[in-house]
Structure 1
Amino acid sequence: MSAPFHRSLRALVADRARRPIQVLVVAVLLCGLWSAWFFLFRVSVYAVSSEARVEVEVATHPVEPAVEGRVVSSSLVLDRWVEAGEVLVALDARALEIELSAKRVRVESITAQLGPLEREVETKTRALGDHERVARAQIAEARARHRGAMVLADHAQSEAQRSAVLREQALVSAADLAKMVSEGRLQRASAEALEVAVGRVDAESRLRRSEIEAEVAELSREIELLRGQKAQELVAIEALQHEIELRSIRAPISGKLGEIAVLRAGSVVTKGARLGAVVPPGRLQVTADFPPDVVLGRVRPGQAARLRLAGFPWAEYGTLPLSVESVGSEVRNGKVRVELSIAGSGPPAIPMQHGLPGAVEVEVERLLPAELVLRAAGRMLERGWAGDGASR
């Protein structure tokens, strides 16, 4: 019995000696594999967005009031299709409508006053033309009579001169001579009277013409004043119509209401308040906001990316393949905007629609783990130096 027990004891001792060697071999092998991975195999480095969402390629249009007002009616229903120009919210415009009615009545009153005045101006203008023609005829007639009287006066004067010659020859009596001289003077006086009549007719004609022209000018001034008032009222009407139209909040484009505010009759909305948004039909894309130090100089158009949707675990539903379309060059609110196109159909279990949130991952480079460790160490040193400098 002693011999077998001795051999068993030696076997146990040999087995204990082999176990450290096996552990050492395994440890060396693992270290070698880890070193090979650490120094030879590259890993992907991703830039991860702070925010991302699925959006329609055509920009959504907000529904916003241009003025403050009290809600009279609202047809904002989530996911309802609306046509461009359709009234979505009506604000109270009763006071403006009353003022508009008063302005329209005022315009009608001015128009009613303008009609008779314009007709009176036309009548007086025609009367002035008729007066001009009559005056010219009267003046022509007076001048003709004056010329006739001058002829008679000249004839009478020549007869008196001839009678005076005959009287010297005792061929005509003194009475006949006196009669001829008197007739000549009478004809001359008549001619002078007709000449004065020509001037009087001309003066009366000018006076009447001036009176009619003054009346026409007065009527014209009144008409122009009324027309100016009417123009002012029409401008005021147009402004009131514009103000009333501003109180009808319309759909800017055709599409579905993607978001709405809860409005009830009597609610007061402020100018520029977001009451909803109209989502037009179109191709879906993904927009993401990245920190500037993550995206600038590292994310470029054409790079592959993927979207992990919030609420849909990627291990169960998968990810959505993307391709970078454009990268913003300006920082806004501390973020840089990146637009990505959907490269595939996406997971069939996920209903693709506008507004789905998530996170975008873009592969920006492939590095060795050793490079990543050195880069992290360098950043830690930079922060340490920056902290030391700040403390000093």
Structure 2
Amino acid sequence: MSTPFLHTTRALKADGTRLQAVAAAIGLLLFAAWGLWFFIAGITVYKVSSEARLQQFGNTVQLSAPQSGRVVAIHRQLGDTVADGDALLQLDTSALDLGIAGENRVARSLEQQLESLRREQELVDNNFQRDSAAQREQLALLRERHALLESNLEIQANITARYESLAAKQQGAQLDYLTAKRSQQQMAADTLETEAELKAAEERLVQLEADHRQSRAELARRLAATEQELVQADTRMRQQALTADQYHLRAPIGGVVASLADINVGQMLEAGAVIASIQAPGEIRVQAQFEPAAALGHINPGQRARVRLDGFAWTRYGELSARVERVAAAVQDGRVLVQLVIDGDVPPGLPVQHHLPAAVEIVTARKAPYQLLLQRAGEWMAGEDGNPPAAGAL
């Protein structure tokens, strides 16, 4: 019985020795692997900021109240998209509207006067054309009659001369001579009368033309004066309309209403009060604030980064790929501004909108674990403020 037991004990000891050797070998391998990882492996080092926002880089225009007045209408709300010239807000223009309406009535009255003067001018021209045509026709008849009378008078003068010659030779021709003489005298009187009528008709035509010129000149003067008054009334109306339009606050550019003051209908505004700002379309950038110790000397243009939007879990919506574009050279309000450009595809469903808050992680280096351990130990030994820890702190 003792011999088998002895063999079993020896076998167990041999198996235990082999297990110890295997365990030692595995431990050495694990230690070697850990050593390789500790001294050779690279770990990505990030500089993280939770103070980041998406910013739309385009022309931003701030709008102020051009005039003092009471708000009567608000046409747009925060975040609305507007086109160039769209009305945002309207101030009370009732007083100006009354002035514009009055000038409009004056202008309409002057236009009616102009139309009446033009009709009167047309009537004067028509009357002149009718009267002058009749006068010229009468002149033509008188000239024709005068020419006929002169021709007859010349013939009668010849007849009278022959009768006078016969009367001198024959006693019986005296009566014929006297008759011819009376006819010549009558014709001469008729000719003189016709000449007087012809001269009077010519004078009437000249006077008619003079009266027409005078009437035309007077009408032209009245037309010019009325047209000048109409121009002045229209100018005043346009000026008042332009002034009234200043009470309508309009978008000077297309874009999005980025900010809007807390204004209600009926509220009084002072001239120059800031009302809204319009953000023109532009490329989205990421602006992050870092502590100086984390940014200066560590973050440089070209470094890769990832951006996670607040309120949109990256495990569900994904994250944005970005690249450092520039780093501010000066510290402002205890922070260093870092600007990044989004250069990767935007995951579906992830909104990229102006002013969304976000967190930024910038890849600044790749270090071995032992380097990180030594760096952390150095920071711990130096203390949080960069000075060695107080006695007993270790």
Query: What amino acid is aligned across from residue 68 of structure 1 in structure 2?
Result: Q
Count of aligned positions: 322
Matched, 1:286 2:285: yes
Matched, 1:262 2:262: yes
CA contact (8 A) 2:322 2:344 kept: yes
Q: 1:144 to 1:76 in 2, by over 3 A?
A: closer
CA–CA distance in structure 2, aligned partners of residues 80 and 227 of structure 1: 49
Partner of 1:64: 63
CA–CA distance in structure 1, aligned partners of residues 326 and 151 of structure 2: 110
Shift in Å at residue 174 of structure 1? 3.9
Partner of 2:207: 207
Shift in Å at residue 211 of structure 1? 0.5
Q: 1:234 to 1:355 in 2, by over 3 A?
A: same
CA–CA distance in structure 2, aligned partners of residues 203 and 183 of structure 1: 30
CA deviations 1:272-292 (Å, max 9, x no partner) are x54224568x897225499xx
SS of residue matched to 1:345: coil
CA contact (8 A) 1:63 1:274 kept: yes
Query: What amino acid is aligned across from residue 211 of structure 2 in structure 1?
Result: E
Query: What amino acid is aligned across from residue 71 of structure 1 in structure 2?
Result: R
CA–CA distance in structure 2, aligned partners of residues 171 and 324 of structure 1: 147
CA contact (8 A) 1:285 1:339 kept: yes
Show structure 1 runs of 5+ residues with no match: 1-32, 370-392
* 1:215-234 equivalence runs, <5 A: 215-234=215-234
Q: 1:366 to 1:206 in 2, by over 3 A?
A: farther
CA deviations 1:296-327 (Å, max 9, x no partner) are xx746xx6344477x78x99999954345988
CA–CA distance in structure 1, aligned partners of residues 324 and 137 of structure 2: 92
Q: Normalization by structure 2: what TM-score? A: 0.62
Q: 1:74 to 1:358 in 2, by over 3 A?
A: farther
Matched, 1:117 2:122: no
Show structure 2 runs of 5+ residues with no match: 1-35, 290-295, 372-394
Pick which of 157-166 and 209-218 moved more.
209-218
Q: 1:221 to 1:66 in 2, by over 3 A?
A: farther
CA–CA distance in structure 1, aligned partners of residues 175 and 210 of structure 2: 52
* 1:343-362 equivalence runs, <5 A: 343-345=345-347, 353-357=353-357
* 1:151-300 equivalence runs, <5 A: 151-170=151-170, 172-250=172-250, 257-264=257-264, 265-271=266-272, 273-277=273-277, 285-288=284-287, 299=301
Pick which of 252-261 and 117-126 moved more.
252-261
Q: 1:117 to 1:343 in 2, by over 3 A?
A: same
CA–CA distance in structure 1, aligned partners of residues 203 and 338 of structure 2: 91
CA–CA distance in structure 2, aligned partners of residues 170 and 183 of structure 1: 21
Query: What amino acid is aligned across from residue 145 of structure 2 in structure 1?
Result: R
Query: What amino acid is aligned across from residue 72 of structure 1 in structure 2?
Result: V
SS of residue matched to 2:89: strand
Q: Normalization by structure 1: what TM-score? A: 0.62
CA contact (8 A) 1:54 1:284 kept: no
Provide the aligned C-alpha RMSD in A: 5.1
Q: 1:353 to 1:176 in 2, by over 3 A?
A: closer
Query: What amino acid is aligned across from residue 119 of structure 1 in structure 2?
Result: R
SS of residue matched to 1:355: coil
